[in-house]
């Protein structure tokens, strides 16, 4: 994928939201080819940790080292809701300079190929999630940060996501996946956020 191998390492990070210290002394390392499942109950700080790993938020303490371009999927799809799905995705295809065939392949994999003419706002929760997933995957980055990618998905789609993550890791990418649900990916490491709550 990339000439240099991607990795994501965090050392002794703490996160504070407002007056509350969500977690502290958390260290993790994900190397190319690995996938990590961040597990924990709602509100424990999974999304905050994701944003810290993505570099969108500064940790209260500690450091994050990263190598390789990152793609983030969170609860906001970042697609223009009034546009047909195809055109909304086209914007990111242009920004990311994605090869023409790649987006088509990804759309077929997540089962959205028949919905390209439908405005994003008419899509169901699960379809919107899969659209955002398609945007994230088509970006072609070695590092995937997936925040609750399984929310709103049916069982068949969950299996598709698990397969895509496994495929991505087999291809030398890495993935951090935050979910309160169980995830079945071969070789998936697991990090319980509850262990780092003070």
Q: Which one of 4, 41, 58, 187 is in contact with other proteins (CB under 8 A)?
A: 58
Q: Which one of 94, 100, 114, 198 is in contact with other proteins (CB under 8 A)?
A: 94
Site track 128-167 with other proteins (rule: CB under 8 A), x = hit: ----------------------------------------
Q: Which one of 1, 57, 118, 160 is in contact with other proteins (CB under 8 A)?
A: 57
User: Which residues does 31 contact at the CB level (< 8 Å), separation at least 6?
Assistant: 5, 7, 174
Q: What are the two backbone dihedrals, phi and then psi, of residue 139, each rounded to the nearest 5 degrees?
A: -60, -30
Alpha-carbon distances, residue 16 vs 29, 33, 37, 62, 124 (angstroms): 21, 31, 22, 12, 34
In the complex with other proteins, the residue whose CB is nearer, 7 or 92, is 92
Alpha-carbon distances, residue 10 vs 24, 63, 93 (angstroms): 12, 6, 30
Q: Which one of 3, 20, 76, 156 is in contact with other proteins (CB under 8 A)?
A: 76
Number of residues forming the site for other proteins (CB under 8 A) = 24
Contact 178, 47 (CB under 8 A): yes
Q: Which one of 21, 69, 118, 188 is in contact with other proteins (CB under 8 A)?
A: 69
Dihedral (CA of 10, 34, 50, 81) sign: positive
* Residues lying near other proteins in the complex (CB under 8 A): 51, 54-58, 69-72, 74, 76-82, 91-92, 94-97
């Amino acid at each position: 994928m990339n000439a240099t191998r991607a990795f994501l390492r965090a050392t002794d990070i703490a996160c504070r939201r407002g007056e509350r210290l969500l977690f502290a002394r958390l260290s993790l390392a994900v190397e190319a080819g690995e996938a990590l499942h961040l597990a924990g109950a709602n509100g424990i700080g999974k999304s905050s940790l994701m944003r810290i790993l993505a570099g969108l938020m500064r940790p209260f303490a500690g450091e994050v080292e990263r190598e390789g371009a990152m793609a983030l999927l969170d609860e906001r799809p970042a697609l223009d809701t009034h546009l047909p799905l195809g055109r909304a995705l086209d914007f990111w295809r242009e920004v990311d300079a994605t090869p023409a065939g790649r987006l088509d392949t990804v759309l077929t994999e997540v089962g959205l190929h028949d919905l390209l003419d439908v405005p994003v706002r008419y899509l169901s929760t699960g379809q919107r999630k899969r659209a955002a997933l398609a945007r994230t995957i088509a970006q072609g980055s070695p590092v995937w940060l997936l925040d609750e990618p399984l929310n709103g998905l049916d069982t068949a789609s969950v299996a598709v996501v698990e397969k895509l993550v496994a495929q991505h890791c087999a291809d030398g990418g890495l993935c951090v996946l935050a979910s309160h649900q169980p995830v079945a990916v071969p070789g998936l490491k697991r990090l319980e956020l509850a262990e780092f709550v003070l």
